Structure 1
Amino acid sequence: MTATATTVTAPISRSGRVRPLDGLRQTFTMAWRSLVAVKHNPLELVDYSITPIMFVFLFTYVLGGQMAGSPEAYLK
């Protein structure tokens, strides 16, 4: 008869939270990967430039009138 030794390890507790320093590191990693992608496909830079401008105009002139009655009142 042979005896085997078993070790019991405690389960890893994952809280689902990311520490601020880890969050910054992950943010910079994703930013670096996006810049590398733009380097390989320069037309993506146009997408990254036009999208924020498009959303500003969309929320101001299309949806701004729904919030304040008119886009002019929303901008004041």
Structure 2
Amino acid sequence: MIMPIMGIRFDDSLTLSHLFYADDAVFIGKWDRANILTIVRMLKCFFLASGLQINILKSKLMGIGVSNEEVLAA
């Protein structure tokens, strides 16, 4: 089961978890293992359903307030 991405909550009416534009996607959320695993599983489901592979060389994982070692490990 894929869990929802836990986005960033701005107030009671706005939580931002993803943005899409043309063939680009940005996923935004709290840095935790569950969110990272959810995104990985979601991208795998996308690949299996569409046959389109994610280009890892054009992808970027960033963490704010997270060590470089932790980002590299993820």
Same fold (TM > 0.5): no
More helix by share: 1
The structure with higher relative contact order (CA 8 Å, sep 6+) is 2
Q: Which one has a larger percent strand, Structure 1 or Structure 2?
A: 2
TM-score range (shorter-chain normalised) is 0.3 to 0.5
- What TM-score, normalized to structure 2? 0.32
